[in-house]
Amino acid sequence: MSRNAKINTLLLVLVAALAVIPLVFGLGDHKEEPFAGADAEAETAITELDPDYEPWFSPLYEPPSGEIESALFALQAALGAGVLAYYFGVRRGRRQGEARALERLRAETNADTDTDADADTDAEAVSERRRV
């Protein structure tokens, strides 16, 4: 197994552990909603400390149910993940394209003149300028 495969496997195990450990140990069993978000926890704490508290702002859109709110949150997370994946994919593709172009340039240069050692350094300089 390669080093990258070991790291990926370890990361998957850690993510699974983060999802399973709270369920196995019963964390949050003493609460009415054991896995409520931080917003709900903060609202509960504020109303316990100051029952007359008035919020400064109200939401622009209040979903009719918790399921719709969860679906909108999941949609937001999926869109964000898609944007990040697209960015990293484009970045990797550009890097691979530059590497292929550099290899082609080296092959053409070596085929044309075997004695010209400066061609390799010129190609590397062009590649370095493109990366910056």
For residue 98, the model assigns a pLDDT of 93
For residue 35, the model assigns a pLDDT of 66
For residue 65, the model assigns a pLDDT of 84
Find all residues with CB under 8 Å of 113, minimum gap 6, and list them.
119
Grouped pLDDT means (10 residues each) for the chain, 132 residues? 93 94 77 71 88 87 86 94 96 94 89 59 59 56
pTM beyond 0.85, yes or no: no
Q: How far apart are CA 62 and CA 65, in angstroms?
A: 9
Q: Is 110 helix (H, G, I), strand (E, B) or coil?
A: helix
For residue 123, the model assigns a pLDDT of 58
